[in-house]
Structure 1
Amino acid sequence: MSSYLYLLPALILVVGVVHVGIVANAYYSTLDWNGVSPDASQVGVGNYVKLLQDPVFWTALRNTFAFAVATIALQMLFGFVLATLVRTRTVLRGLLRTLAFVPVVLAPAVVATSFRFLLTPDGSINDLLSIVTGQNIEQAWLADPNTALTAIILINVWQYTGYSFLIYDAAMGQIDTSIIEAARIDGASSLQLLRLIVAPLLSGSHLVLVVLGVISALKTFDLVYLTTAGGPGTSTQVLTGYIYRQVIEQFHAGYGAALSMALVVLALIFAVLQVRLTSRKVN
């Protein structure tokens, strides 16, 4: 019995902070409240009805989904390619690993601020593209609703591809070399070796990166807020940014709580899918 006492601090933290917080937030989502005044009126499911009819919510949901799919796919692809290149080289492996992982340890505030200047019409990115293409390019990447979300996605990919690379690089190091040698003897080309042997053996790494990528996408806030603040218009608005805007900037705490509950439901659905996929893989 005394052994269970060691679990008490963790249980207090999880139940007292996380679960109680979710329950309290669910209650707040039924109120018409500014988050400051002691007066609040009960509106029942009114905030949820408003949420379903709110075009900005659906835009933020679509942007969050697009951000998640694009960043996960590109980071996994580039990370896999980088890991393959590093594993097939015999020199400068340590330097290549360091260079690939450096962006990951940079603070998002530093990355966002730097790219906000680099992507201005007279920024260095346009200067580089002008030299490469031979044309005068003055694209406002973060101020154009047609390119702003894509620019943010690419910034995120640039920063966190190194993490995917690290996972794949470590996993490739655990592959039995005899399997690779047997495939070579059977006449497998390098592309077939990667597609039919290496990639399937890294299925656990794929799952880990998808899980972490979705979690990261659902929590994305600082990069978007510090580059575009959800603009132009709502072209780059994500769920966390919209919650912040409703609660902190517009004092719609009740509606912001309803938006938060929608985010909790999305996270819960993904958690169930994750557990089922993990259990299926183990079995």
Structure 2
Amino acid sequence: MNTVAKRRANSARLPSGMLWILPALVVSGGLIYYCIGYTGYISTQNWDGISPDSVSVGLANYVQLWHDPVFWLTILHTVAFFAVTFVVEVLLGLVFAVLLASNVRFGVVYKVLIFLPVLLAPATMAPVFRLIYASDGPFNAFLSAVGLGALAQPWLAQSSTALFVVMSISIWQYTGLAFILYSAALTQIDPQVIEASRVDGAGNARILFQIIWPSVRGTTVALAVLAAIGALKTFDIPYLVTGGGPVYSTEFLGTLIYRVSVPQSQVGYGAALSIVLLVLAVCVALAFMLIGSERKAPKHV
């Protein structure tokens, strides 16, 4: 009886399910948060990442970051990247979802084709897009074939167009994600509501903007969170396609962190950039969560 009583007492002390989530807590607390703390410590050091000794510089790396014009350029690129890719992906994803929600012939094939780019690794796409947008590549050849040869230009070799090329690649890859999420959201709309609207004389545009769009607002907020954090973490596409150039025209926080930490061996400064990136990502996520909670909160008259 004493043994049974002890077991009951021990189980009463532990919250329900604690033993099941304890391994995940140990991994996240002991690895992830330790790494964040260690990165914060390195951000106060002048260290090349190789030598055994580092020099404490306090907040000098953050002061350097504040006065670094390339850092502010990456912030501008991140904001522009988020605004353009989010708007285009939402519009295309919603339009595709609405069009394929009806009984379209070969609809499953279209859905697979739209979602397929999401599954492809950027490392496999980068050489293809470098070839497509080359000066003598297929894109310029297509423009010449349709009589728009005057628009042909070295898309990846000039600052005025390189960022838009990176945006177009991201839109091509992640529109399928918006499409899938909107397709799932559309299944939650009662078809009788749409049929009743048609009986009342509502056209397709009115149904789209007054019934469908408000109904998928939560999905749009979720996509905004994913797009904002994704823009902050953008690395693979600009690094593999343009390398951050030309003249920093496609430089993002991720590519800047890699460039100063590895090729330039300024690990302390790279760690400071990483901490700023983490803070920005957390702030963006919290901001969208507050916006979502305010919309869900009941309004008292």
What TM-score bracket applies, with the shorter chain setting the length? over 0.9
1:62-120 deviation line (CA, Å, top 9, x unaligned): 11121111111111111111111112343121111111111111111111111001100
Q: Which residue number corresponds to residue 96 of structure 1?
A: 110
Where does structure 1 differ by over 3 angstroms across 4 or more consecutive aligned residues? Answer: none
Give secondary structure in 2 for the equivalent of 1:278: helix
What code does the residue aligned with 1:115 have? F
Q: Which residue number corresponds to residue 215 of structure 2?
A: 201
In the TM superposition, what are the counterparts of 1:266-281 in structure 2 within 5 Å?
Answer: 266-281=280-295
Following the alignment from structure 2 to structure 1, what is the Cα–Cα distance between the partners of residues 22 and 294? 31
Counterpart among 249, 260, 274 of residue 263 in structure 2? 249
Counterpart among 233, 236, 239 of residue 253 in structure 2? 239
In the TM superposition, what are the counterparts of 1:217-236 in structure 2 within 5 Å?
Answer: 217-236=231-250
Count of residue correspondences: 283
What code does the residue aligned with 2:124 have? V
Contact 1:121–1:141, Cα closer than 8 Å, also in 2: yes
1:204-230 deviation line (CA, Å, top 9, x unaligned): 110111111112212211111111110
Counterpart among 159, 167, 172 of residue 173 in structure 2? 159
Query: Displacement of 1:178 after TM fit?
Result: 1.2
What is the TM-score of this pair, normalised by structure 2? 0.90
Query: Displacement of 1:135 after TM fit?
Result: 2.7
1:115-154 deviation line (CA, Å, top 9, x unaligned): 0011001100111111123536541111110000001101
Kindly report the root-mean-square deviation, in angstroms, between the aligned alpha carbons of the 2 structures: 1.4
Matched, 1:19 2:33: yes
Q: Which residue number corresponds to residue 224 of structure 2?
A: 210
Following the alignment from structure 2 to structure 1, what is the Cα–Cα distance between the partners of residues 288 and 236? 26
Following the alignment from structure 1 to structure 2, what is the Cα–Cα distance between the partners of residues 32 and 131? 55
Following the alignment from structure 1 to structure 2, what is the Cα–Cα distance between the partners of residues 275 and 207? 9
Following the alignment from structure 1 to structure 2, what is the Cα–Cα distance between the partners of residues 267 and 173? 31
What code does the residue aligned with 1:43 have? V
Contact 1:127–1:137, Cα closer than 8 Å, also in 2: no
Query: Displacement of 1:268 after TM fit?
Result: 1.4
Q: Which residue number corresponds to residue 68 of structure 1?
A: 82
In the TM superposition, what are the counterparts of 1:121-160 in structure 2 within 5 Å?
Answer: 121-135=135-149, 138-160=152-174
1:39-79 deviation line (CA, Å, top 9, x unaligned): 11111111111000000111111111211111111111111
Following the alignment from structure 1 to structure 2, what is the Cα–Cα distance between the partners of residues 202 and 159? 22
Give secondary structure in 2 for the equivalent of 1:63: helix
Contact 1:31–1:43, Cα closer than 8 Å, also in 2: yes
Following the alignment from structure 1 to structure 2, what is the Cα–Cα distance between the partners of residues 4 and 103? 40
Matched, 1:171 2:194: no
Give secondary structure in 2 for the equivalent of 1:133: coil
Contact 2:140–2:149, Cα closer than 8 Å, also in 1: no
Q: Which residue number corresponds to residue 55 of structure 1?
A: 69
Contact 1:101–1:162, Cα closer than 8 Å, also in 2: yes
Counterpart among 248, 259, 267 of residue 273 in structure 2? 259
Query: Displacement of 1:193 after TM fit?
Result: 0.6
Which structure is richer in relative contact order (CA contacts within 8 A, separation 6 or more)?
1
Moved more, 195-204 or 82-91: 82-91
Counterpart among 105, 120, 123 of residue 106 in structure 1? 120
What code does the residue aligned with 2:140 have? N
For structure 1, the residue ranges without an aligned partner over 5 or more in a row are: none
Query: Displacement of 1:281 after TM fit?
Result: 3.9
What code does the residue aligned with 1:56 have? V
Identity of aligned residues (%): 42
For structure 2, the residue ranges without an aligned partner over 5 or more in a row are: 1-13
Following the alignment from structure 2 to structure 1, what is the Cα–Cα distance between the partners of residues 147 and 170? 25
In the TM superposition, what are the counterparts of 1:31-46 in structure 2 within 5 Å?
Answer: 31-46=45-60
What code does the residue aligned with 2:274 have? S
